[in-house]
Every structure is written in C-alpha cells, then in structure tokens.
Amino acid sequence: MNKGVVLAAVLSIVTVAFVVIGTIWPGPSALAYAGGQGVVHSTATPEAAVANLGSQIQSQAWSKAYASLANKGQFTQTEFVHDLTGFYPGLRTYATLDKFEVRPLHASDNEADVQLKLFWSTVVGISVSSRNLHMVRNGDHWQAKWPIEKEPVVPPQVIPVNYLRWDVIYRGPGDDWGAQDVEEPHVRIVDMHAVQRADGVVVLGELLNEDVVPAYVSVNATLQSKSQAAIATEGSFDKISHVLLPKQVTPFLIRFPDVSLSDVGSVRMTPFSTLIPASADPVIAIDDATLSPAPDAYLTGQLVNQSGQVVNVAHVLGTFYDKSGQVVWVADQYLDSALLPQTPAPFSIHIPEDLARRVSSERAVVASYIAGGPR
Amino acid sequence: MKYGRAILLGAMALAMLHQVFPEGGLTVPGTVTAGSAFSIQSSGSGGATLYITGMGHFLKRDVQLGQSTLFPAGSIYNAGHYLVVLTGTGATVSSAFDVVPASEPENLSFLARPSRLPVDLHNGITGALYVFDAYKNLITVPKPVLFQLSNPAGATEARTVMTRDGAAWTQMDSTSQQGMDKFVARVDDGISSTRIVGQIPGDPCGLKMAARESGGKIQLQTDPVRDCSGNAVPDGTIVTFTESDKGAQSTVDVPIKRGVAEAELPAHSGATISVASGVVLGNQIRWAR
C-alpha cells in the first residue's frame, strides 16, 4: 500500500516536472505546431527561406506563409491556401504536411530557383507534390515567388445526363421465412495467380461482375501450405474498385508480407459481393494512357470527368498484362485533388522495374467517390 | 421459458401419478384433428379435475364424473401426443391421445431460389414447398403439388410432385426469354403460393459499334446490345471502348443507356478502336481520317 502511494507520488511529480520543462523550453517542432516561431527563422539564403516557408505550411500558419511571398500581390491568401489544400473537397483538404524537402536548382547573387517537395499525409497514404519556386533577394533576405495554380474554371454549360441508378428493396423483418429476398450479385474471378516479391507473396487477378445489378465487392485470399494448413488470410483492402457495375471488371491485389511462395501449396480465393444502390454516373474517361518503358516505368495519362459532378476522390487502378494476356502487376494512384467536370487531370502510376520489362499491355479503371453520393 | 418449465414439471407430475394409480373410468378419442372440438367421457360419480397436457398446451377442467366433457374447437391445435389425467377423491386415472394436422392445407411456405438468374439455364431454379394446416402444423399426409413456371409471353413449364413428410421440391429450367417469371406452387388444386423469378439476359452477343467524326472527336455508338437469345442487355451494363494509337491508349467505361452505349474519344488517324463488355469482345475499327 505504502509502496503504491510512493510510486503514484513519484509519477505525479515527474509528470508535472516534464510539463513545466516542455512549457518553458519547448522543442522547435512543438513550437511550430503551437503557432509560435517556426523551426527555421533565417531567410538569409534561398534554401533557408524555402525551408521557412515549408515549416509555415506544415504548421498551417497560412498568414505567415502568405506574408513571406514576394508575389503575394498577384493572388489572395484564400487562393494561396486553396492552391495547397484544393479548391474543392478532396484528399488534400483533410491532409497534413508530413514533411518537406528543399532542393536548390540554380542560384545567382540576386535570384535562385529552389524545388520544394511536399509530402502530404492523406487518409490513403503519402501524396507527393512539388513546386519549383523562383527566389528573389530583397535586401538581406530572400523571398519566394509562389507559382500559383489558380482555380480551374469550368465554362457554364448544361451537361445532359440520362439519370440511371439502382435502388434496392430488401425483404422486411415481418416476412414469412420462406419469402424471397433480393439475390446477391453474381461475381466471378476471371484471372488470378500468386507471385513472389521481395517483401512477400502477392496475389493478383481480376474480378468480373457478371450480373445485371451493381455490386459492392471485395476479395479475400488464404494461402495454404502443401499440407492444406492455412498460412495467412488477407483482403484486397483498397487495391480494388469496390463498386462494380454490371459487366465491369476490376483488378485486385492482395499482399502477404513475409511469406515465401515456396511454402505455398495452394491459394483459396473468397470473393464477396453485396447488392447496393448505385449510380451509373459519373463516367470518367482515361485519355492518352501511355506506358513508359523501364527502368523508370510509369503508366501516365489523363482522367476526364465526362459528367457534370465534381468527383472528390478519383482512384486509378492499372492492370498490366504480359504478351500472353496474363496479369503481371496491379498498381494504383489516388488523385489528391478533386476531379472537375470536363477538366483533364493527369495521373502517373509507377511500375516496378523488373515487372515493367514483361509488361506488354495495360488496362486502367477509375473508382470514384463523391461526397454525399452521386446526385 | 417460464411457462415451458411449468408445463414440463406438470407433465412429469402427471406421468408419475399415471404410474402410481391404475387406469380406468376415462374414455378419450384415439386421435383429434388439430383445432377441432372433441369430448372426453368419464365414468363414476362426484366431482373431479381433468388435466390435458402436451405440445405447449395445458388444460384444466372441473368435471362431473359420469358426464362427457366437451372441448370446443380451437382448444388444442398443436399436433402431437397429449396426456389426459383425471384426479379426484378416488384413484387418479390417465390416458393419452394424438392430435393430428388437419388434412386441408391452409398455409404454404414456398422457397424459390434464386430470385434472379440468367436465361437458358438447365435446372437453374429450385422450388421447395412445405404444406401446413391452419395452425401451422406440417401436413405429413402425401399431397399432390403442381409447380408451374410461366414467363410473360405465356410459355409454361409444369410439374406435379407428391409431398413426402410434408415437403415437395422440384427443379426448373430458365427459359430463353428474359422477364419476370411467375413461379406458382399449388396444392390439391386449391391453395397456392407465388414467387417471382427474374430471368436476366446473358452476356452480350455480336457486340458491334460504329464510329463517326464529331467536332474533332470520334463519336462511338454500339448497335442495340443483345444476348445470344436476342434479349436486350439491360441499361447500366458497362461497355468499354478502347482506342490505341502509337503506344497511347484511351479508355472509357460507359453504361448502356436506352439499349446502346455511346462514347467520345480523341480522333487520331490510324488509331484502332475496340469495344468489349465484361469478357466479351466486339468488333474493331481502324480510324483513318
């Protein structure tokens, strides 16, 4: 009992002591987040000035960041903030800046070019964007000219949409036990195989909704040893387009970290499907998708939202095939800003170098999310 | 739960009495139809108490020995074995009788699966029927059941199956025509139950598109999309248009609307355009303008 009281007293005293120390002598990053002075104070060099700007963006000190710019007369603070966080709600709107990198590109006595690489922490992972800043000397300090990307303007127009959606009425709780319920959508795995990667086994393939109703789908895989014992079970998580319209095909990818393919005797696949209300809109086209070859292999292209609604989150899934038409890899990219109607937005999906050499063709699909659901 | 335990304890007590005292002075019917009126005759004179217990029922009547005790319709309606005990000033006597389901079907439970399936599927539809009387007792006496599947065009597939232990089942083929089919199960040419089975088109067949230039772009439109039986593939089905040109590829997934799929792709001379839906490929066009 006495020991417990002593321990509680010691812990209390130590806690209070740490709180006092942290308040009187806060760490630089804590101070920055608390809205005090940033981590970097100097603007004596172009790199230091950009680092200072990065710190202010990281701590969301928008007024200080805007005030430090050399060309702030060309745009408002609101436009500056929207340029960073998005004009419409998207992944970036709810993201925080995890870290940033500063890389000098060119410098003279009075001017310099510096690249600011921003690593945004979004709900689906890190999203990277970079800006090349032109720096100008103003007395004994440097200021950045922010390359503002103004809000894209969609011309006023009427986009006719033949409204097409599915609603579902399920059986009621008072129905007789023999009463029918709506049938779940029929889905089928049309391609699947497991491959060995450096970090473990990856199961990839394609899933088809062969029904005439929309389906919410996901896929689970269980690796089994040669003695049919289960090694591990994993799901496709977000490496799949979860909403499949009739006859739509989605790729899927399931990772099994730290598992060796040589230990695997068989793979048991379990596709799930649930009937859901859905809309056939928006239609998003993928224009000019191009495979750039290894070693720096990418699938690049543009998304064009052909509907009249703003798509808040667009998720591009690329399926890559070899010459025989077998899936060799599945990769994806989230667009961190909203997809406006009729406004092309670029995407770029990285392909591992060793696989890129085997890729002969590709197919991309887009999954979309609209805040509040399609209207 | 509380009542169930009380009934069970009562039944056990009565059974013990039944073993202790000799049987006699009680005339019960051999079987009683569920829900029907019946009477129990006792012999002797004076007052006594009559208990009937079994299958969720517990009845108690004060009776005059030597008279007939009438139980009106609806007194006992659960099929099963019942114990009758008569106790009074003298010896306790007991007997038993069975309550059997009414022969007239009044309730049907019809399980038809699936509620939606592709056309032209052999034995794709399963129907199982359970026949009950008015009190939801399973009628175990064999009954003829007519299963009838009819599509909107009037074509009918019918099959008669006898129930066995209260149930009958069958399998039916889906027809080649899409639509909402009526699946009817009828017992004894009387009571029936109906389910709706949606027959949906199969994969698109002979998918074909045409292209024309429109404002610097290629306007693509399919012919009306049908399956191999000529059924229109429903609106909302996804059709994929793909344009390949000098290593670049443009793709768009569009839903069929009003029977056809339409899309607009960039016009590149020499481009190859293909169309597909699910795993079905359509024609290819080479754009040369």
Total residues found in chain A within this entry: 375
Kindly list the residues from chain A whose CB atom is less than 8 angstroms away from the CB atom of residue B264. 285, 306
> Residues 6 or more apart from B5 whose CB is under 8 A from it?
none
* Nearest CA-CA distance, residue A185 and chain B, Å: 9
Tell me, what's the pLDDT at B56? Answer: 85
Q: Would you say residue A46 lies in a domain? A: yes
Sign of CA dihedral A25, A26, A29, A33: negative
Q: Of the residues A228, A258, A278, which one is the last residue of a structural domain?
A: A278
CA A92, chain centre distance (Å): 9
Query: In which region does residue B136 sit, left (phi positive, over 0), alpha (psi from -120 to 50) or beta (all else)?
Result: left
Best of B180, B249, B265 to mutate (most A CBs within 10 Å, chain A) = B249
Check whether B11 has a pLDDT greater than 90: no
CATH code of residue A224: 2.60.40
Q: What is the mean pLDDT of chain A?
A: 90
A287 touches chain B (CB under 8 A): yes
CATH code of residue A365: 2.60.40.10
For the segment(s) B107-200, the CATH number from 1.40.20.10, 2.40.160.40, 3.40.1410.10, 2.60.40.10 is 2.60.40.10
Higher pLDDT, A36 or B20: A36
Tell me, what's the pLDDT at A265? Answer: 94
pLDDT digits (tens, 9 = 90+) for A257-272: 999 999 999 999 999 9
A181 touches chain B (CB under 8 A): yes
Q: Of the residues A278, A306, A332, which one is the last residue of a structural domain?
A: A278
Q: Which CATH superfamily is domain B2-100 in?
A: Immunoglobulins (2.60.40.10)
> Are the CB atoms for B210 and B224 separated by under 8 Å?
no
My answer on whether A127 and A222 are in the same domain is: no
My answer on whether A260 and A328 are in the same domain is: no
Check whether A32 has a pLDDT greater than 70: no
Mean pLDDT of A80-108: 92
My answer on whether A247 and A202 are in the same domain is: yes
Tell me, what's the pLDDT at B85? Answer: 93
Of chain B, the end-to-end C-alpha distance in Å amounts to 83
Query: In which region does residue A354 sit, left (phi positive, over 0), alpha (psi from -120 to 50) or beta (all else)?
Result: alpha
Q: Would you say residue A94 lies in a domain? A: yes
Q: Of the residues A115, A145, A175, which one is the last residue of a structural domain?
A: A145
Q: Would you say residue A153 lies in a domain? A: no
CATH code of residue A140: 3.10.450.100
Q: What is the mean pLDDT of chain B?
A: 88
CA A68, chain centre distance (Å): 30
My answer on whether A263 and A285 are in the same domain is: no
Higher pLDDT, A204 or B151: A204
Task: For chain B, give every residue range classified as CATH 2.60.40.10.
Answer: 2-100, 107-200, 209-287
Check whether B203 has a pLDDT greater than 70: yes
Is the overall model pTM greater than 0.90, yes or no? no
Check whether B19 has a pLDDT greater than 50: no
Nearest CB to B255 within list A245, A249, A362 = A245
pLDDT digits (tens, 9 = 90+) for B63-106: 988 889 999 999 999 999 999 999 886 778 899 999 999 989 99
Tell me, what's the pLDDT at B24? Answer: 45
Check whether A177 has a pLDDT greater than 80: no
* DSSP letter (8 states) at residue A357: T
CB burial of A327-340 (b: ≥16 within 10 Å; e: otherwise) equals bbbbbbbbbbbbbb
Higher pLDDT, A294 or B58: B58
Sign of CA dihedral B205, B210, B215, B216: positive
Mean pLDDT of B2-14: 54
Best of A162, A212, A275, A349 to mutate (most B CBs within 10 Å, chain B) = A212
Closest CA to A245 of A281, A198, A271: A281
My answer on whether A251 and A295 are in the same domain is: no
Q: How confident is the model at residue B9 (pLDDT cuts 50, 70, 90)?
A: low
Mean pLDDT of A110-138: 93
Burial label for B263, CB within 10 Å (0-12, 13-18, 19+), is buried
Mean pLDDT of B162-187: 93
Query: In which region does residue A311 sit, left (phi positive, over 0), alpha (psi from -120 to 50) or beta (all else)?
Result: beta
Flag if A183 and B251 touch (Cβ within 8 Å): no
Nearest CB to B109 within list A176, A213, A286 = A176
Q: Would you say residue A152 lies in a domain? A: no
My answer on whether A60 and A73 are in the same domain is: yes
Flag if A178 and B109 touch (Cβ within 8 Å): yes
Sign of CA dihedral A42, A48, A53, A55: negative
Kindly list the residues from chain A whose CB atom is less than 8 angstroms away from the CB atom of residue B249. 286, 288-290, 301, 362
As a whole-number percent, the residues of chain B with pLDDT over 90 amount to 68
Helix (H) or strand (E) holding A356: helix A353-356
Check whether A171 has a pLDDT greater than 50: yes
Helix, strand, coil content of chain A in percent (nearest 5): 20, 45, 40
For the segment(s) B209-287, the CATH number from 2.60.40.420, 3.40.718.10, 2.60.40.10, 3.30.750.24 is 2.60.40.10
Pairing of strands B192-200, B116-118: parallel
Kindly list the residues from chain A whose CB atom is less than 8 angstroms away from the CB atom of residue B216. none
My answer on whether A80 and A53 are in the same domain is: yes
Kindly list the residues from chain B whose CB atom is less than 8 angstroms away from the CB atom of residue A212. 116, 200-201, 233-234, 236-237
Q: Would you say residue A136 lies in a domain? A: yes
Tell me, what's the pLDDT at B13? Answer: 53
Tell me, what's the pLDDT at B5? Answer: 60
Check whether A35 has a pLDDT greater than 70: no
* Nearest CA-CA distance, residue B166 and chain A, Å: 15
Check whether B18 has a pLDDT greater than 70: no
> Are the CB atoms for B124 and B113 separated by under 8 Å?
no
pLDDT digits (tens, 9 = 90+) for A65-91: 999 999 999 999 999 999 999 988 999
Tell me, what's the pLDDT at A42? Answer: 76
Q: Would you say residue A249 lies in a domain? A: yes
My answer on whether A227 and A328 are in the same domain is: no
Flag if A182 and B255 touch (Cβ within 8 Å): no
What is each CA distance from B215 to B145, B212, B285, B288, in whole angstroms?
64, 10, 19, 16
* Nearest CA-CA distance, residue B80 and chain A, Å: 23
Nearest CB to A212 within list B237, B242, B247 = B237
A262 touches chain B (CB under 8 A): no
Flag if A190 and B279 touch (Cβ within 8 Å): yes
pLDDT digits (tens, 9 = 90+) for B22-73: 334 789 999 999 999 999 998 888 889 999 999 888 999 999 888 899 999 9
B180 touches chain A (CB under 8 A): no
Q: Which residue of B has its CA nearest to A175?
A: B109
* Total structural domains within chain A: 3
Q: Which residue of B has its CA nearest to A182?
A: B115
Q: Would you say residue A82 lies in a domain? A: yes
Could you say which residues from 80 to 139 on chain B have a Cβ atom under 8 Å away from some Cβ of chain A?
108-117, 130
CB hemisphere CA count around A248 (13 angstroms): 28
Flag if A289 and B248 touch (Cβ within 8 Å): yes
Six token digits for residue A251: 């790729």
Domain range enclosing A332? 281-369
Kindly list the residues from chain B whose CB atom is less than 8 angstroms away from the CB atom of residue A364. 251
Kindly list the residues from chain B whose CB atom is less than 8 angstroms away from the CB atom of residue A182. 115-116
- What ipTM score was computed for the predicted complex, to two decimals? 0.76
Tell me how far apart the alpha carbons of residues B255 and B239 are, in angstroms, rounded to a whole number.
6
